[in-house]
């Protein structure tokens, strides 16, 4: 997902979940918020980020701060990455290694780019394999 579309989707979800916060926000503050979200959230895995916001919206009564979002993302990304690694149709020789990397880097500030590149490859493989499956109404 394109970065600007990802941030727009995130902000749309937040506007619906926390309307009181956005009612009091000036245009300048809103632009600043969008800029900060692009800076801090724009390079994160889109699927893991959407899972993060689902969890935050379920649990948080008030608009979350960026540190709250990032801390929740680390946990959700780790779960998402491990599930992806284990459920991929790809012939992954290094599943255990990738799982340990997902767990290790969930404790760090960022995931390394080579790990994220491998996760992106697994997402693409999973996407292709899902397209090949026949839908129930195709029979």
pTM: 0.80
pLDDT confidence band for 2 (50 / 70 / 90): confident
Give Rg (Cα) of the chain: 17
Helix axes 95-105, 66-87, angle to 10 degrees: 170
pLDDT digits (tens, 9 = 90+) for 107-139: 777 888 888 888 888 888 877 776 655 444 444
Pick 89 or 114 by higher pLDDT: 114
pLDDT digits (tens, 9 = 90+) for 9-62: 999 999 999 999 999 899 999 999 999 999 999 889 999 999 999 999 999 999
Burial 79-99 (b: 16+ CB within 10 A, else e): ebbbebbeebeeebeeeeebe
Q: Could you tell me the two tokens for 40?
A: 């801090």
């Amino acid at each position: 997902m394109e970065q600007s579309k990802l941030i727009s989707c995130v902000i749309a979800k937040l506007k619906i979940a926390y309307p009181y916060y956005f009612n009091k926000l000036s245009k300048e503050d809103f632009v600043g918020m969008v800029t900060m979200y692009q800076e801090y959230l724009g390079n994160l895995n889109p699927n893991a980020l959407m899972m993060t916001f689902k969890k935050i919206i379920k649990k948080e009564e008030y608009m979350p701060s960026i540190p709250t979002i990032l801390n929740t993302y680390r946990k959700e990304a780790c779960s998402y990455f491990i599930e992806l690694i284990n459920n991929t149709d790809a012939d992954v020789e290094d599943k255990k290694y990738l799982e340990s990397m997902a767990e290790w880097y969930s404790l760090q500030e960022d995931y390394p780019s080579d790990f994220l590149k491998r996760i992106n490859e697994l997402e693409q493989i999973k996407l292709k394999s899902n397209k090949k499956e026949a839908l129930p109404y195709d029979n």
